[in-house]
Amino acid sequence: MNARTYLDHNATSPVRPEAREALLAALDATGNGSSVHAEGRASRGVMDVARARVAALVGANPAGVIFTSSGTEADALALTPDYRRGETPIRCDVLLVSAVEHAAVLRGHRFPTDRVEVLPVDARGRVKLDALDAALERHSAAGRRVLLSLMVANNETGVIQPLAEAARRAHAHGALVHTDAVQAAGRIPLSLPLLGADMMSVSAHKLGGAPGAAALILADPDLRPAPLIGGGEQERGRRAGSENVPAIAAFGAAALRAADCVEADGTRINGLRERLEDALRCEFPELVLLVGDVDRLPNTSCLALPGVPAETVVIALDLAGVAASAGAACSSGKVAASHVLGAMGVSERIARSAIRLSFGWSSGEEDVDRALGVFRRVLPGLLRRRAAA
């Protein structure tokens, strides 16, 4: 079988060697991190190291790191009306989210449906700050406290949000701010203090860790969301259940490596993406590059071949050896156009044709070479079929 080219790092990234080594070492350990004997203390030490490394990735306090099983769980933990800061209860009455958030945020979790308000975005997918201002002023005048959830960067387009400015405006009205940084962590430099968010969700498998570990990181460790999972006192009583020590160890190793090379990797990967995009646009003018003129993650391309269903392109690429993903979701046998592109005002014809190519830490020039060769073999046939339809 010919070598395959993996261009779906935004879905999951291959496990880094350092993470694999840490995971295997932790699998050989015996103790439960909640136990007081030597084996338990050893497992606790492994988690403490990982906690410090994950915190350092985003410039946070290790005491604010709450390990979870996934980015979705981290989002769900954050999206609650009920908080405490120390012994003082904080009640959030309304959840504001942008129209391009991941489904893990859009559904609002523990907020009633009628307490979730969706903010519009512009044609590039960035939240409209004037709409945010209007919502904050309206709820503040009515005596309602807001929780704002705004992602760092979009998982489909890579577009980076004006988070720091949005957080500044939200805090001026006494709001709390959560950000889903699952796609951005390890791909661009992040500082939780500079971004101004109160909470940040990150996930191990997006940056080369193992699936099964993620974290909600609190800027202030004394801020406590109401637990999503009750029971024991793990994670300082903030998330019950025995921690997944091997996955957490791998998370820490991946975070350390990602932090060490985030700027160099970002520059290198941006070059790979630009080389691929430039070649495709030159050779196939029918291709539409979405949001190519706005700040976005260095690894993400969102392309469309109007009139050719995204799933058709993805399957054809897969059969030829390239792993990509569709900008559409399949549900109950129906294909729906991306809610992200719809919110941006992209026509349904283009939205239904959108695919995502995403590079990562393991990508190299040979991936661009192979991908271009596959596109050159596959796209002409798809264009002929479109013309004949």
At 359 the three-state DSSP class reads coil
Within 10 angstroms of residue 192's Cβ, the number of other Cβ atoms is 23
Q: Is the dihedral of CA 184, 362, 59, 47 positive or negative?
A: positive
- CB within 8 Å of 216: residues ≥ 6 apart: 65, 66, 68, 74, 75, 77, 78, 199, 200, 201, 225
Q: What is the DSSP letter of 64?
A: G
Name 89's bridge partners: 84
Question: Which residue in the list 92, 261, 282, 330 is annotated as catalytic?
Answer: 330
At 298 the three-state DSSP class reads coil
Element (H, E) at 289: strand 288-290
Buried b (16+ CB within 10 A) or exposed e, 278-296: eebeeeeeebbebbeeeeb
Q: In this structure, which amino acid lies at residue 223?
A: L
Contact 125, 100 (CB under 8 A): yes
* Helix-then-strand count for the chain, H and E: 13, 18
Q: How far apart are CA 163 and CA 169, in angstroms?
A: 10
Question: Is 302 a known active-site residue?
Answer: no
CA distances in angstroms from 346 to 13, 155, 162, listed in the order given: 28, 17, 21
Q: How far apart are CA 132 and CA 135, in angstroms?
A: 5
At 228 the three-state DSSP class reads coil
Q: In this structure, which amino acid lies at residue 274?
A: E
The residues annotated as belonging to the active site are 330
